Chain A
Amino acid sequence: MTRIVVVTAGLSVPSSTRLLADLLGDAAGRAVEARGSEVDVETIELRPLAHALADRLLTGFPSAELAAVIEKVHRADGLVVVTPVFAASYSGLFKTFFDVLEEGTLDGKPVLLAATAGTARHSLVLDHALRPLFSYLHAVVVPTGVFAATDDFGGATASTGSGTATSVEGALQKRVERAAGELAALVAGSGTPAPAAPGRRMVGDELASPTPFDQLLKQASEGPPQY
């Protein structure tokens, strides 16, 4: 079973961010299935977690509900993350969720980036804000990001380079399908036995299989092992 988790940070109901998240979640599900794998797509709204996220910043530990969501994200085979654009970047709520993840949570995880905004002038937010964030988190980011502005949902038409008119909505769906296909390909490949680089050890890893003390002592005096 391939688990795809969609994290969406829209605030209103209905929200265009959720709309895009659903398009991507559905497309990712189909793309994974097309490769012959069973799929489970789960969508997580950050809005109901807003208080829990603020509490986590202050207390240092997550509420049971937030901990369960973080665990789902950690265990996912692939992620779709969608934020509205606020003040030319991801929203604070969206960033806070990724701020509170323990280091290593997203190591090597395929992630599809997406954003919504009122105007297409924000479209580079994917490459200027989201991509560096997920590179820092050691995620493997899908080449195609999906940005949708109000026009993309409006059913208006736009001129293409070849001079023929196409539906903007149709163009968005094409981007969605392409990105979902790329995510499915990465997810299919991420289960290979030898990942390119070892992930960082997390608290859960230490609890499950502690580093023996003689090695801790060695690391203390010699520094960490070289990767």
Chain B
Amino acid sequence: MQIGIFTVGDVTTDPTTGRTPTEHERIKATVAIAKKADEIGLDVFATGEHHNPPFIASAPTTTLAYIGAQTENIILSTATTLITTTDPVLIAENYAKLQHLTDGRVDLMTGRGNTGPVYPWFGKDIRQGINLAIENYALLHRLWREDVVDWEGRFRTPLHGFTSTPRPLDGVPPFVWHGSIRSPEIAEQAAYYGDGFFHNHIFWPPSHTEQMVRLYRERFEHYGHGPADTAIVGLGGQFFMRKNSQDAVKEFRPYFDNAPVYGHGPSLEEFTEGTPLTVGSPQQVLERTLSFRDYVGHYQRQLFLVDHAGLPLKTVLEQLDLLGEILPDLRRGFAEGRPDHIPDAPTHASLVAASGGAKDSTVYAEADAVTGRTDR
């Protein structure tokens, strides 16, 4: 079971002090949070991608490479990589490069992005979101698996004799998760490829997450990747904890009430009841988190959102310390009753082993054949 954190990189005013961090502070804080996550023994750090204020989450591979250089074990991932507005050729190149630089500590999660104005900045149309996600990923999938690609599609200029470089490390592409809150088509896509499916989980009631995961599992089996309960499932989650649960509620309430997305809407009490948000003692967070299995089955990855809504860095690091304290119990709890045939989330090492061992995947091209196939 992988346990980690994910961030969207929002630059939000701390409602208790009125202070807004600078972009520089927020970017450096993100690095500090990732390093802390590695230090307390978390398995995954994932960053989102946004191209508009108030976010600092553009250029995710730059952030992840910098973090990768300063950490030892943590897997670097995304939550999410915009498969709709980003050229799949650039995704193929950037994440393969990151894979080499971090010796395989990379996977990624594709998502569509729901910020309407962003699409036209990249020459795209949000109404084609699903179609973009389907076609762009189909290309990305090939770019990582075929040395030379001829391709023609609806949303991107054609490719003839194209080789995406660097080739994936050891001949094994990064593992891919497909993230979607409410589009069954994306669960279908994840199932078709036998990739992972990640449900954000934090903004919607568990009943909805359950339906999406069930569909993914059924279709994973349908497409012949194995029994439904061996499909690769990830969930989001969010908590705020203090030793004393009343302290947690008191301290978190102003952040909740003013948070982007759900702020000024339902009360903290309504939202904690209706969604997986847990505000309370470490024991409460532990118990709530372990209850997610009740409706999605045994799963592979749990990511928490801890650094949003204007929470200061100091508080976020304290939250990670507390998470570190319950981490052994979380791992024990997740292992309890988990049948032997339930797989772990794929890692670079496991994928290399499954492919029959590492191989050099370099495409050695002559200087005059840099575009791949030639017509000589």
Contact = CB atoms under 8 A, between A and B. Distances in A.
Interface string B219-250: 10001000000000000000000000000000
Interface stretch (A110-118, A119-127, A143-151, A206-214): A206-214
Classify chain B: how many residues form its interface, as a range: 35 or more
Given A60-B203, A64-B274, A220-B135, A206 B184 contact: yes
Contacts of B219: 210
A210 B215 contact: yes
Contacts of A210: 184-185, 187-188, 215, 219
Q: Is the interface of B mostly helix, strand, loop or mixed?
A: helix
Nearest to B186: A216
B323 to A, nearest CB: 25
Contacts of B185: 206, 210-211, 216
Interface string B139-172: 0000000000000011000000000000000000
A210 B138 CA distance: 19
Interface stretch (A8-16, A21-29, A51-59, A190-198): A51-59
Binding site of A, secondary structure by majority: helix, strand, loop or mixed?
helix
Interface stretch (B257-265, B301-309, B358-366): B257-265
A163 to B, nearest CB: 58
A210 to B, nearest CB: 5
Contacts of B328: none
Interface in B262-313: 262-266, 270-271, 274
Contact of B131 (A64, A211, A212, A220): A220
Contacts of B212: 207
Max chain B CB contacts within 10 Å: which of A54, A212, A213?
A213
Contacts of B189: 213, 216
Contacts of B182: 203
Nearest to B187: A210
Interface of B: 130-132, 134-135, 138, 153-154, 182-185, 187-189, 191-192, 203-205, 208, 211-212, 215, 219, 223, 261-266, 270-271, 274
A219 interface: yes
Given A64-B205, A206-B184, A216-B130, 13 more contacts: A55-B266, A59-B261, A61-B204, A203-B182, A206-B185, A210-B184, A211-B188, A212-B188, A216-B185, A216-B188, A220-B135, A220-B138, A221-B135
Contacts, number: 78
Nearest to B214: A207
B208 A220 contact: no
A55 B182 CA distance: 18
Contact of B134 (A212, A220, A223): A220
B203 A207 contact: no
Given A64-B205, A222-B154, A58 B264 contact: yes
A212 B261 CA distance: 32
A58 B262 contact: yes
23 contacts: A55-B265, A55-B270, A58-B262, A58-B263, A58-B266, A59-B203, A59-B265, A59-B271, A61-B203, A203-B182, A206-B188, A207-B211, A210-B187, A210-B188, A213-B189, A217-B134, A219-B134, A220-B130, A220-B131, A220-B135, A221-B135, A221-B153, A223-B154
Q: Which of B130, B182, B184, B263 has the most CB of A within 10 A?
A: B184
B264 to A, nearest CB: 6
A223 B271 CA distance: 39
A96 interface: no
Contacts of A223: 131, 154
Contacts of A207: 184, 211-212, 215
A63 interface: yes
Contact of A63 (B130, B262, B274): B274
* A-B complex: 10 closest residue pairs judged by Cβ atoms: A58-B265, A206-B184, A213-B192, A220-B134, A220-B131, A220-B135, A55-B265, A55-B266, A59-B262, A210-B188
